[in-house]
Chains A and B, each alone.
Chain A
Amino acid sequence: MKQKISALMDGELFDDDAETILDKLKQNPDMQEEWRSYHLIGDVLRQSDNVHANISIAIHKRLQAEPTVLSPHKRDSHNARWLALSAAASVMALTLVAWLSMQVGSETVPQLAMRQSQNVQPANLPAHGLDDYLMAHQEFSPGLDVHGMTAYVHTVASQQEDQ
């Protein structure tokens, strides 16, 4: 049992063992003496030129006069860790989406524009045939307000020419 007290104060016990030893420490004055003397030894070894007396008895008396602390919240480190991980993952995902959309907005459009300007060649049409060409393709003109009427207009124009 004493060996477990020694390991407990070094943080080298498993969780269940630690709980058990703490329960026993609460009830056993001899074990409390071990806890006290082992810590005194450690304090002296670390700093032997300035060793302060044991004030735990005075504090014990003062604690008896204090109202007992009852914390309303139970600390749950496991849940807190998962919450933190979820939050971090969400932020990462949002950052990735934002970054990708910025890539599309800033790079793809100029690339497309460059391709259009490289691939499109000026039509090599004779000057006298230009009017016929425009007339034949006017239904594809983006500036025409009445797209539904183009076929009719074209037909009427052809009929007038024939007459």
Chain B
Amino acid sequence: MSEREVDQLLVDRAQHGDKHAFELLVTKYQRRLARLISRFVRDSVAVEDVTQEAFIKAYRALPTFRGESAFYTWLYRIGINTAKNHLQALKRRAPTTTLFDAEESEGFEDASLLHEVSTPENELMSKQVVDVVNSSLQELPDDLRTALTLREIEELSYEEIAAAMNCPVGTVRSRIFRAREAIATNLRPLLGTSKNKRW
């Protein structure tokens, strides 16, 4: 089962009422979608707002998704359209933006979550997460680091990695898992203390 087929499996479940399956897709694609949207929208608070909106739009549109394209290409299209609509809306209401947005955000249930984004605490947290991941990767044995790097950065399949590293596919599977688990073990103390589990 390929990565695309796993996505389709989750989409099928979500289309039949399983919201949790859609949330697994959110966890998987949230940062990639946010990074794409940040190419259109510069304000980091707005990036998260637009990303959330894009996911909600995708959820509502799930009945129309037939799997003719990959889920992520469909999601990215929705993300780009949502970002463009956001920019057009900003242009239309530019003179009264500040007051209107403040009133709007007070009535919004998750406003506190949205406005936490660009605080110094969160920027520090982001830097810590990056440092822990990178330093943990460097501490790994060569074979684990190579296997994880080929998978995550070069996006090779297990079979391709096995050919490159001259070892069985089962060994590749084990090495990638052990590498992830070693890094995750170092990350957990950081993630566990994070307010609202924002990482």
- A interface residues (Cβ-Cβ under 8 A, vs B): 2-3, 6-15, 18-19, 22, 25-26, 34-48, 50-64, 66, 68-73, 75, 77
Q: Which residue of A lies closest to B64 (CB)?
A: A71
B27 pairs with A56, CB closer than 8 A: yes
B173 pairs with A22, CB closer than 8 A: no
A57 pairs with B196, CB closer than 8 A: yes
Residue B5 at the chain A interface, CB threshold 8 Å: yes
In the complex, chain A residues whose CB is within 8 Å of the CB of B130: 44, 48, 51
Number of interface residues of B (CB under 8 A): 79
Q: Which residue of A lies closest to B155 (CB)?
A: A46
A-B Cβ contacts below 8 A, count = 193
> A151: shortest Cβ distance to chain B, in Å?
75
B110 pairs with A11, CB closer than 8 A: no
Point out which of A38, A55, A60 has the most chain B C-beta atoms below 10 A from its C-beta: A55
Instruction: Known A2-B181, A37-B191, A41-B152; judge A54-B199 contact (CB<8 A).
Output: yes
Docked CA distance A51–B35 (Å): 8
Instruction: Known A26-B18, A57-B197; judge A41-B180 contact (CB<8 A).
Output: yes
B199 pairs with A55, CB closer than 8 A: no
Instruction: Known A13-B1, A52-B30, A52-B48; judge A58-B173 contact (CB<8 A).
Output: no
B198 pairs with A54, CB closer than 8 A: yes
A7 pairs with B19, CB closer than 8 A: no
Residue B34 at the chain A interface, CB threshold 8 Å: yes
